[in-house]
């Protein structure tokens, strides 16, 4: 019986999860650097750019809603919003839903900057297009699962993902589009699942767990 002697790399390779984490860290640094450079060239901080981009994407929000969506503290949002108001890029008005809260709305100039800030991650999308389609699908699936795991651990805010939405009906039919969105009453393929849907309504914790089980059961 022959037994292979361990090679150098059998004994000197970090586990795959550690190397993936290192890779993601490097990508994160590139994104941070790009956001910082692009924000700087627009005369904004990266957080100010994120605030304007979020308001363009979701419409007027309160400071608490922005803090939750962006995963930054309320004092950070308040400081950035104050500067944006001074620069005449944001306005503050009473929130008709909550008498003691204020809604932040971008001015015309703020909305134009916010629209540009939304495109900051495009350099990353360009890098992803260098992958063949099957690798893109596998990558998307892995990214979605990682985001979900981090959300469930409370490490990043619950965002607008289909897999955590009360309108999501996973694996309800055979074929290329096995899922269904009850909000628009339309089928959904795996590669069409959304990570940041404006119509997302968070399902409660028990339903989220059930949705995830149904989603992963036949995959």
User: Residue numbers of the site for ligand SF4 (CB under 6 A)?
Assistant: 160, 162, 165, 167-168, 181, 183, 194, 197, 199-200
Minimum distance between the CB of residue 100 and ligand SF4, rounded to whole angstroms?
30
CA distance 39 to 122: 14
Is the C-alpha dihedral spanning 86, 90, 92, 98 positive or negative? negative
Minimum distance between the CB of residue 49 and ligand SF4, rounded to whole angstroms?
24
Q: Decide whether 56 or 164 has the Cβ nearer to ligand SF4.
A: 164
Q: What are phi and psi of 170, to 5 degrees?
A: -80, 145
Q: Decide whether 140 or 183 has the Cβ nearer to ligand SF4.
A: 183
CA distance 50 to 83: 14
Minimum distance between the CB of residue 67 and ligand SF4, rounded to whole angstroms?
21
Q: Decide whether 14 or 201 has the Cβ nearer to ligand SF4.
A: 201
Q: Decide whether 65 or 169 has the Cβ nearer to ligand SF4.
A: 169
Q: Which residue, 178, 215, 184, is CA-closest to 199?
A: 184
CA distance 77 to 125: 27
Minimum distance between the CB of residue 165 and ligand SF4, rounded to whole angstroms?
3
């Amino acid at each position: 019986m022959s037994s292979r002697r361990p090679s150098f790399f059998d004994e000197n390779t970090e586990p795959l999860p550690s190397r993936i984490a290192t890779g993601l860290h490097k990508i994160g640094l590139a994104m941070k650097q790009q956001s910082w450079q692009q924000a700087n060239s627009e005369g904004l901080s990266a957080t100010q750019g994120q605030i304007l981009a979020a308001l363009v994407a979701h419409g007027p929000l309160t400071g608490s809603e922005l803090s939750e969506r962006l995963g930054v503290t309320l004092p950070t949002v308040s400081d950035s919003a104050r500067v944006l108001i001074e620069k005449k890029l944001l306005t503050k008005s009473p929130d008709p839903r909550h008498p003691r809260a204020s809604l932040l709305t971008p001015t015309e100039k703020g909305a134009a900057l916010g629209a540009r800030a939304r495109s900051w991650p495009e350099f990353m999308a360009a890098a992803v297009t260098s992958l063949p389609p099957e690798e893109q699908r596998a990558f998307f699936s892995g990214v979605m699962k990682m985001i979900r795991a981090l959300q469930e651990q409370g490490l990043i805010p619950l965002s607008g993902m289909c897999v955590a939405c009360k309108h999501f009906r996973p694996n309800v039919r055979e074929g290329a589009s096995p899922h269904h969105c009850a909000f628009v009453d339309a089928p959904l393929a795996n590669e069409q699942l959304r990570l940041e849907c404006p119509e997302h309504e968070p399902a409660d914790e028990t339903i989220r767990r059930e949705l995830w089980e149904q989603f992963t059961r036949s995959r």
